[in-house]
């Protein structure tokens, strides 16, 4: 029994070896090929490997703020010829600022013969014409108001009811959006709605809320944004900022404000 078992085992081992050795060689060769292929594939992957290392060692957030300019120092909001010049309770216009290109828009007016900066006046005419084609007849109720005009207006309110009362209904001289020559108060056919929040319910008010951006105007003081703009909801006050910029603010969402969109501080007066 033992004699028979031994040769049987050796034969088995030989057969296994005869089969296993070439199989092993093929396997080793295959591993070499796979390893080379894998290396070839991994090679380009290895180059990005150091990126996590650098991301950890050098803080990546640092370069991000660098290309993002500080909006409070961005000349677009402060140069007097810019259509994005900002006037709010945190940003006073340069002393005695008066636009050099004021023009009379050829539109229906109420209360006065108002002016706007040339490009805004042309855009206003275009907007009034487009509205008229849809049976909406707009009226311009205010436009450029100089610093002196605003001073007389504001001082009158102060005399009437004190500074906080005046601040609640009027801008201090130098802080008014109207002094930019790019702001206009718009009205409809029924003067009873002039400069009232109910203007939003009129045909003219609805048309403006929906379409003004197409002509470069934004509703400067939207509903529910008093803390941001510093002003109560004024569905009649529109501000020209160019068509391209008005489109961006329109696309950014309902009731988007100038302050939020550009990252400009707003709200109430500092003191």
Q: How many CB atoms lie within 10 A of CB 79?
A: 12
Determine, following the binding rule CB under 5 A, whether residue 237 of this chain makes contact with Zn ion: yes
- Both structure tokens of 107: 């539109």
What HEC string does 57-89 produce? HCCCCCCCCCCCCCHHHCHHHCCCCCCCCCCEC
Q: Which stretch binds Zn ion (CB under 5 A): 87-95, 206-214, 237-245, 252-260?
A: 237-245
Q: How far is the CB of 180 from Zn ion (least distance, A)?
A: 11
Of 209, 258, 252, 254, nearest in space to 229 by CA:
258
CA atoms within 13 A on the CB side of 102: 18
SS3 56: helix
Q: How far is the CB of 154 from Zn ion (least distance, A)?
A: 14
Nearer to Zn ion, 225 or 237 (CB): 237
Q: How far is the CB of 125 from Zn ion (least distance, A)?
A: 19
Q: How far is the CB of 190 from Zn ion (least distance, A)?
A: 18
Q: How far is the CB of 235 from Zn ion (least distance, A)?
A: 11
Nearer to Zn ion, 69 or 156 (CB): 156
Q: List, in sequence order, the alpha helices (H) in the chain.
A: 2-46, 50-57, 118-133, 147-161, 163-169, 203-211, 226-229, 243-251, 258-262
Nearer to Zn ion, 144 or 262 (CB): 144
Nearer to Zn ion, 118 or 195 (CB): 195
Determine, following the binding rule CB under 5 A, whether residue 218 of this chain makes contact with Zn ion: no
Determine, following the binding rule CB under 5 A, whether residue 172 of this chain makes contact with Zn ion: no
Q: How far is the CB of 80 from Zn ion (least distance, A)?
A: 20
SS3 111: coil
Nearer to Zn ion, 14 or 268 (CB): 268
Q: Which stretch binds Zn ion (CB under 5 A): 75-83, 107-115, 143-151, 178-186?
A: 178-186
Q: How many CB atoms lie within 10 A of CB 63?
A: 9
Q: Which stretch binds Zn ion (CB under 5 A): 92-100, 114-122, 222-230, 235-243?
A: 235-243
Of 223, 216, 199, 221, nearest in space to 250 by CA:
216
Burial class (CB in 10 A: 0-12, 13-18, 19+), 267: middle
Nearer to Zn ion, 113 or 271 (CB): 113
Nearer to Zn ion, 172 or 237 (CB): 237
Q: Which stretch binds Zn ion (CB under 5 A): 100-108, 156-164, 185-193, 203-211?
A: 185-193
Determine, following the binding rule CB under 5 A, whether residue 185 of this chain makes contact with Zn ion: yes
Q: Which residues bind Zn ion (CB under 5 A)?
A: 185, 237
């Amino acid at each position: 029994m033992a004699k028979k078992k031994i040769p049987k085992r050796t034969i088995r081992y030989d057969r296994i070896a005869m089969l296993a050795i070439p199989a092993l060689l093929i396997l080793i060769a295959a591993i070499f090929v796979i390893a080379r292929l894998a290396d070839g594939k991994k090679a380009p992957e290895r180059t990005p490997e150091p990126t996590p290392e650098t991301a950890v060692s050098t803080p990546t957030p640092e370069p991000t703020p660098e290309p993002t300019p500080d909006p409070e120092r961005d000349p677009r909001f402060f140069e007097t010829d810019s259509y994005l010049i900002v006037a709010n309770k945190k940003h006073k216009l340069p002393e005695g600022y008066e636009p050099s290109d004021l023009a009379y828009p050829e539109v229906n007016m109420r209360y006065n013969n108002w002016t706007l900066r040339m490009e805004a006046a042309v855009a206003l005419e275009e907007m009034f014409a487009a509205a008229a084609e849809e049976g909406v007849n707009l009226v311009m109720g205010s436009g450029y108001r100089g610093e002196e005009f605003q001073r007389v207006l504001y001082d009158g309110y102060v005399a009437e009811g004190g500074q906080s009362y005046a601040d609640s209904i009027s801008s201090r001289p130098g802080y008014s959006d109207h002094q930019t020559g790019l702001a206009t108060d718009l009205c409809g056919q029924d003067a009873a709605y002039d400069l009232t929040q109910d203007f939003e319910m009129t045909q003219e008010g609805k048309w403006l809320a929906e379409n003004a951006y197409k002509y470069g105007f934004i509703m400067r003081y939207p509903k529910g944004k008093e803390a941001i703009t510093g002003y109560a909801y004024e569905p009649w006050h529109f501000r020209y900022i160019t068509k391209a910029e008005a489109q961006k603010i329109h696309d950014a969402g309902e009731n988007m404000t100038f302050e939020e969109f550009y990252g400009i501080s707003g709200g109430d007066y500092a003191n």
